[in-house]
Structure 1
Amino acid sequence: MIEAGNVSLRCRASPIFNQQASSANRGEQSPRRSDKLVAAKDVALSSARFAGAKHHAPPHQLDCRQCRQAEAGMFDRCEWRNEPAQWKLSRAGLEVVTDNATDFWSKTHYGFTRHSGHLFGYTATGGFTASLRVRGKFESLYDQAGLMVLIDNDNWIKAGVEISDGEAMLSSVLTVGSSDWATGAFPGDASDFWLRVTVDNNVLRLQVSTDGRRWPLVRLCPFPPAPHYLVGPMCCTPEREGLSVLFSDFTVEPPSQKALHDLT
C-alpha cells in the first residue's frame, strides 16, 4: 500500500521495443508519452523551472499548488521505457506497480543482460540536476526503486533502495559496458526517501536525502558524454511482480554548481 492513499490503476497494452537483447531478456517496450493531458500553464511552468532562475526555492519550500503544477508538467514530458501494465498519474504523483521479472543489468557475475525494468524518462539535453521523491514498500529480494539516467543499453546508472540479504540497502549500479553494484546501509526510513543526480562535464554526482533538505554524497564517478540523457523514475522486481511505488517531486534543472560537500 502507498502512504498517499489508494488509487485505481489502469491497465495498458505493452508493445515490444524492437531492439536486440539476450535470450535472458524480457522484450523492451517502445517509449511512449503519457496520454495524460495537463493545462498549458502546467507545461509552461515546467519549462520555466528547467530554464530557470538561479535562485529558486527547492521543492519542499514551494507552494503545494506550484509543486503539483511543475510536477504534472515534468511527468507529462516523460516517456516509458518498458511501460508497466499498471500505472497512473494522479495528484499524488506517478504510481507504478511492477511487472514480473523486471530488471536492468549487464553481464557482471550473473552472465546475463536484462533491459526489462521500468523507466519513465525525461529527455535532457546537456548537463542537468534531477531530483525525485520515492515511496514504496520493499519486501522481496532485489525489490528496487529510485532514479535512473540512461544513454543507451550499454551506458546508464540506476540508484535507490534495493532489498539485499534481507535488508533495505542504498544501492547504485553504474554500467559502462558491464554493470557494477555498490550497496550500503540506508541511513533512514527506506520506505520514503529522496534522490538527486547531477550530470555535468563527464562527471556524475549522486546524492540521497531522508528529508529533502540534507543531501550527503553517495557516489562520484565518470559518466560518458552524450547529446541526450533519459532521466527519471525507475523500478524493478527481478524476483516477482507487484511492488507498488509512488514517485513525486520530480524536477530537472540546469546542473548544480554547489561545492562537492555542500549538503543543501
Structure 2
Amino acid sequence: MSTVSIPWSEGSWTHEPVRAEVDGQDLLVTASEGSDAWRTTSYGFVHDSEHALLRPLDPDRAVEVTFTVAFTDQFDQAGVFLRASPTQWVKAGVEFVDGVPCVGVVATRDRSDWSAFPVPDWAGRRVTVRASRTGDAVTVRAKVEGEPFVMIRVLPLDEDLAVEAGPFVCAPTRPGLTVRLHAWRVTPADATLH
C-alpha cells in the first residue's frame, strides 16, 4: 500500500476547536483555552478536551502529521493522536515546556505517562510526527524538515483494538493558539524499529 494524503474533511473532531479553516493546502486550527488530554497521574485530574481530527487507522499502517512549531506559551502542543477509547489513547508531538519546544509522547491506559525531550532548534520549523501500528506496538518517530526521522518511543497497543488517528492541537494554559497543519497522511507502517 502506498502513502495516501487525507483530506481535512475526512476526519471527525473529538472536540470542536474554536476555529478550523482551510488556507490553501493547510488547515489552521485555533484551540480552546484549557484544551488538553490527560488522565490522573501526578496531577490528579482528567482532561478530555483535546481537538483531535480522527479517522480509522488500520493495523500495519502509520499516520503522519506535518505542522509548524510556532508555540509561545506553556504546554502549547500539536501532533498525532491515536484513540481506542476515552481511557486508552496516545498523543505524540511537540509541546512547549518551560520555554522550550519538546518532542514527546503521552501514552494512556487508564492513567497517563509522559516523556519529553527538548528540541530547541525545532522552533518555527515544519515538523512531521509519525505513529506506526505494527503487531502489539506503536512506534513514534519525528523529524524536522530536511532531516531524517528519529525514533522517539515504542509503546504497547493491543493489535485487536479499533483505533482512530489524526492530527491534534491543545492549548492548556491560554486562548488564541492557532496551529498551521500542513499535511495528514496514512503510510505503510515502518518495517523495522531501526
Q: What's the TM-score, normalizing by structure 2? A: 0.92
> Quick check: 1:118–1:236 contact (8 Å CA) kept in 2?
yes
> In the aligned structure 2, how far is the partner of 1:168 from the partner of 1:184?
8
Unaligned ranges ≥5, structure 2: none
Q: 1:217 aligns with which of 151, 157, 169?
A: 151
Q: Does 1:99 align with 2:32?
A: yes
AA in 1 matched with 2:90 = I
Q: CA deviation at 1:179?
A: 0.3
Instruction: Report the equivalent of 2:15.
Output: 82
Q: CA deviation at 1:161?
A: 1.2
AA in 1 matched with 2:129 = L
Instruction: Report the equivalent of 2:66.
Output: 133
Runs of 4+ aligned residues of structure 1 deviating over 6 Å after TM superposition are none
CA-based RMSD of the aligned residues comes to: 1.7
Instruction: Report the equivalent of 1:23.
Output: none
Q: Does 1:207 align with 2:110?
A: no
Q: CA deviation at 1:79?
A: 0.8
Larger-Rg structure: 1
Instruction: Report the equivalent of 2:168.
Output: 234
Q: 2:98 aligns with which of 132, 153, 165?
A: 165
Q: Which fold has the larger relative contact order, with Cα–Cα distance below 8 Å and residues 6 or more apart in sequence?
A: 2
AA in 1 matched with 2:157 = F
Q: CA deviation at 1:149?
A: 0.7
Q: Report the structure, 1 or 2, having the larger helix content.
A: 1
Q: Does 1:185 align with 2:118?
A: yes
> In the aligned structure 1, how far is the partner of 2:183 from the partner of 2:78?
15
Q: Report the structure, 1 or 2, having the larger strand content.
A: 2
- 1:20-99 to 2 correspondences below 5 Å: 52-53=1-2, 71=5, 73-99=6-32
> Quick check: 1:86–1:98 contact (8 Å CA) kept in 2?
yes
> In the aligned structure 2, how far is the partner of 1:249 from the partner of 1:237?
20
Tell me, what secondary structure is at the counterpart of 1:109? coil
Listed one character per residue, the Cα deviations across residues 90-111 of structure 1 (whole Å, up to 9, x for unaligned) are: 3232110111110000000010
Tell me, what secondary structure is at the counterpart of 2:173? coil
Tell me, what secondary structure is at the counterpart of 1:188? helix
Q: What's the TM-score, normalizing by structure 1? A: 0.68
Tell me, what secondary structure is at the counterpart of 2:121? coil
The share of aligned pairs that are identical, in percent, is 25
Unaligned ranges ≥5, structure 1: 1-51, 57-69
Residues 101 and 187 of structure 1: is their aligned pair in 2 closer, same or farther, counting only changes over 3 Å? closer
